[in-house]
Amino acid sequence: MFNTLNAKAVATKLAITGFIAGAYGRVQSSRETGQGAVEYVGIILVVGAIIAALVIWGPAIGSAIGGKISEAVDSIG
C-alpha cells in the first residue's frame, strides 16, 4: 500500500512540476518575442536624440567648453 501511495505522490509531483515548467516556458517565450527589434529601435532612438542634441546645442556647448579651457590656461600663466 505504501508503494502505491508513494508512486502516486511521485507521479502527481512530476505532473505538477511539468505543468509549471511548461507554463513558465510558454510565458517566457511569449514575453521575449520581438525583443531584439525593440532593443534595436531603442538604440536608434537614443543615437538620434544624441545627434539632434549635438546639432542643436553643439556650437554653444563647444564655445562654452573652449571658453573654460581658455580661462584655465590663462589662469596658469
Residue 32 is given by DSSP the state S
| Total number of residues shown for the chain | 77
Q: How far apart are CA 28 and CA 17, in angstroms?
A: 16
For the stretch 32-76, pLDDT in tens is 666 778 888 888 899 888 888 877 887 777 788 788 888 888 888
The torsion angles phi and psi of 32, rounded to 5 degrees, stand at: -95, 5
For the chain, the domains span: 1-33, 34-77
For the stretch 19-42, pLDDT in tens is 777 766 666 655 666 677 888 888
